[in-house]
């Protein structure tokens, strides 16, 4: 039995029975049987159905917002995820025909040659709890449009999201076997992957989860897309717009209680701006209201699970014991459990776990730097590589710095945003592959070459 425990009060919010291995095999088999007919439909028909499904999810938003608050603690004041969900899905629909068009190699009197993009077959999407709708649509929309059938497995913490998505897409005419939501435990998921029940697996989650996916797929040649989190840095150069940098980087570190794959977890500030940056960042975080996520006045709700909050507290306490300084006094609603005071740390070093391990919570360490070279060295001193946020008025300089960073995305004067026209990708322990953009379609299809020799009279 899969159980969603609400971080609001520790109560059981929802539960669903996990499929047996045999029932899961049958679901995958139905997806495989249904896929060829789906892929044979005109691409415009598939696009229209996916766009309609996205809109149908939007019609549920009044129910979705408080439901997400109860499942994973995000305050209702932020209104859910439909804006990003629609932006990503609609962009992938808009570029589909061009992204999936055949590459014409050439035609002459004797031959015709081209490369088609064809669907893998059955795609398993394993989605996380922190942005459960937006992360799922990254793969679900392009996979369906490309002609794959999709099996969606959602995190237990956001147990009801997959049900809602499937309900919405089925309501507009996407066949039930083409898009299935399933409840699976880890062992059954791994067993199905090992049995080649799927042709491609897209997983967003922890490094440990990614390793489990690779282990399960070993020797099967099943394609994998893995996005495994990060320890994303921000670098504020001496010519930066200080107020904009402070506001954006602080929000990127604390929004969603810091539970964002591309949230900012460490900041490096040029020594000429360091003191002012700290002062302004502390003022922002001191103004945050920690509390019940159904209260419209709440800025930060509980973390999604007590064990997640414990890891963040442990990192903070270890850093303080090693000489780090805290700047935010404990907030009244910090209960020592899921409700955690957002924290800014200074006097930190890369010997501390809070500057090395993924925190995935409302804490950020800030260090002083004196040069681009020092900042580059520190930003690259990480096992992860998802995004980096640079702050400068000099785009040429930022590009030069960005070219030396081991990361998937470089932002200038922005942070914590996923542009669906760009490839969402990472390196090192952040994983491999790429979602969204034209490249997202390439990863959800395979190339198929045609060399057609013409007959002669």
Tell me, yes or no, whether 193 and 341 share the same domain: no
Q: Could you report the per-residue pLDDT of 196-210, keeping only the tens digit for each?
A: 999 999 999 999 999
* Percentage of residues of the chain with pLDDT beyond 90: 99
SS3 state at 384: strand
pLDDT of residue 61: 96
Residue 63 known to be catalytic: no
CA 169 to chain centroid, in Å, comes to 21
- Judge if 217 and 155 occupy the same domain: yes
Q: Averaged over 118-134, what is the pLDDT?
A: 97
The catalytic residue among 4, 81, 86, 261 is 261
Closest to 387 measured CA to CA, from 208, 229, 210: 229
pLDDT digits (tens, 9 = 90+) for 381-398: 999 999 999 999 999 999
Backbone angles phi, psi at 69, to 5 degrees: -60, -40
List the CATH number of the domain containing 89. 3.40.605.10
Is the predicted pLDDT of residue 225 greater than 90, yes or no? yes
Do residues 141 and 169 make contact, with C-beta atoms less than 8 angstroms apart? no
C-alpha torsion angle, residues 347, 352, 353, 354 (rounded to 10): 0
Distance CA 82, CA 89 (A): 10
Region 352-356: mean pLDDT is 98
Query: Could you tell me the pTM of the whole model?
Result: 0.96
- Dist. CA 263–CA 260, nearest whole Å: 5
Q: Give the pLDDT band of residue 430 (cuts 50, 70, 90).
A: very high
- Give the burial string for 419-446 (b: 16+ CB within 10 Å, else e): ebeebbbbebbbbbbbbbbbbbbbbbbe
* Judgement on whether residues 220 and 181 belong to the same structural domain of the protein: yes
Say whether both 68 and 211 belong to one domain. Answer: yes
Of the residues 67, 81, 86, 227, only one is catalytic, namely 227
Q: How many domains does the chain have?
A: 2
Which of 205, 193, 154 has its CA nearest to residue 426?
Answer: 205
**Alpha-carbon distances, residue 321 vs 58, 138, 309, 355 (angstroms):** 47, 41, 18, 14
- Kindly tell me if the per-residue pLDDT of 211 is higher than 90: yes
Task: Give the pLDDT score at 171.
Answer: 98
Share of the chain above pLDDT 70, in %: 100
Span 231-249, average pLDDT: 98
- Residue 112 maps to a domain: yes
User: What CATH code is carried by the domain that includes residue 409?
Assistant: 3.40.309.10
Q: Quick one: pLDDT band at residue 342, thresholds 50, 70, 90?
A: very high
Whether the CB-CB separation of 282 and 327 falls below 8 Å is answered with yes
Gap between the Cα atoms of 80 and 66, Å rounded: 8
Domain of residue 342 covers: 232-419
Confidence of residue 229 (pLDDT cuts 50, 70, 90): confident
Residue 201 sits in the same domain as residue 255: no
pLDDT at position 456: 79
**300 and 159 inside one domain:** no
| Three-state DSSP class for residue 449 | strand
Sequence-distant (≥ 6) Cβ neighbours of residue 313 within 8 angstroms: 340
Structure tokens that stand for 192 in this block = 């199905």
Q: Tell me, yes or no, whether 265 and 224 share the same domain.
A: no
Q: Is the pLDDT of residue 293 over 70?
A: yes
Average pLDDT over residues 131-138: 97
**If DSSP codes are grouped into helix, strand and coil, which group holds residue 322?**
coil
Residues 281 and 205 in one domain: no
Please compute the mean of the pLDDT values over residues 407-425 and round it to a whole number: 96
Task: Name the token pair of 429.
Answer: 């322990």
Determine whether 261 is an active site residue: yes
- Over residues 157-171, the mean pLDDT reads 97
Distance CA 210, CA 41 (A): 33
**Is residue 68 scored above 80 in pLDDT?**
yes
DSSP secondary structure of 92-127: HHHHHHHHHS-EEEEE-SSEEEEEEEEE-SEEEEEE
Q: What's the pLDDT score for residue 457?
A: 65
Element housing 240 (H / E): none
Q: Tell me the pLDDT of the chain averaged across its residues.
A: 97
Same domain, 11 and 99: yes
| 124 pLDDT above the threshold of 90 | yes
């Amino acid at each position: 039995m899969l159980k969603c425990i609400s971080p609001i009060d520790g109560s059981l919010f929802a539960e669903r029975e996990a499929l047996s291995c045999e029932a899961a095999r049958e679901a995958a088999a139905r997806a495989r049987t249904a896929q060829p007919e789906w892929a044979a439909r005109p691409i415009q028909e598939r696009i229209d159905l996916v766009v309609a499904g996205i809109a149908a999810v939007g019609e549920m938003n009044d129910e979705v917002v408080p439901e997400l608050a109860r499942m994973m603690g995000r305050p209702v004041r932020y209104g859910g995820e439909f804006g990003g969900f629609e932006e990503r899905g609609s962009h992938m629909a808009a570029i589909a025909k061009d992204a999936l068009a055949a590459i014409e190699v050439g035609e002459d009197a004797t031959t015709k040659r081209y490369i088609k993009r064809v669907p893998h077959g059955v795609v398993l999407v394993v989605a996380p709890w922190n942005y459960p709708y937006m992360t799922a649509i990254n793969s679900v929309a392009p996979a369906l449009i490309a002609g794959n059938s999709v099996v969606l497995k959602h995190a237990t913490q956001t147990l009801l999201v997959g049900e809602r998505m499937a309900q919405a897409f089925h309501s507009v005419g996407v066949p039930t076997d083409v898009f299935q939501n399933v409840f699976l435990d880890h062992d059954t998921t791994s067993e199905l992957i090992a049995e080649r029940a799927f042709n491609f697996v897209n997983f967003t989650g922890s490094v440990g989860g990614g390793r489990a996916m690779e282990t399960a797929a070993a020797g099967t040649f099943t394609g994998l897309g893995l996005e495994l989190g990060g320890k994303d840095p921000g670098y504020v150069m001496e010519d930066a717009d200080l107020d904009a940098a402070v506001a954006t980087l602080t929000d990127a570190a604390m929004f969603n209680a810091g539970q964002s794959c591309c949230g900012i977890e460490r900041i490096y500030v040029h020594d000429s701006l360091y003191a002012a940056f700290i002062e302004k960042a502390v003022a922002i975080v001191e103004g945050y209201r920690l509390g019940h996520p159904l209260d419209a006045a709440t800025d930060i709700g509980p973390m999604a699970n007590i064990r997640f909050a414990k890891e963040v507290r442990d990192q903070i306490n270890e850093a303080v014991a090693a000489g780090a300084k805290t700047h935010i006094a404990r907030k009244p609603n910090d209960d020592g459990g899921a409700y955690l005071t957002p924290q800014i740390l200074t006097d930190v070093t890369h010997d501390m776990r809070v500057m090395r391990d993924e925190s995935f919570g409302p804490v950020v360490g800030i260090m002083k730097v004196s040069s681009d070279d020092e900042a580059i060295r520190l930003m690259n001193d990480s096992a992860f590589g998802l995004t980096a946020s640079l702050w400068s008025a000099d785009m040429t300089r930022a590009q030069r710095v960005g070219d030396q960073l081991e990361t998937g995305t470089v932002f200038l004067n922005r942070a914590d945003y996923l542009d669906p026209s760009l490839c969402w990708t990472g390196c090192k322990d952040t994983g491999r592959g790429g979602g969204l953009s034209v490249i997202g379609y390439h990863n959800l299809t395979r190339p198929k070459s045609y060399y057609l020799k013409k007959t002669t009279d």
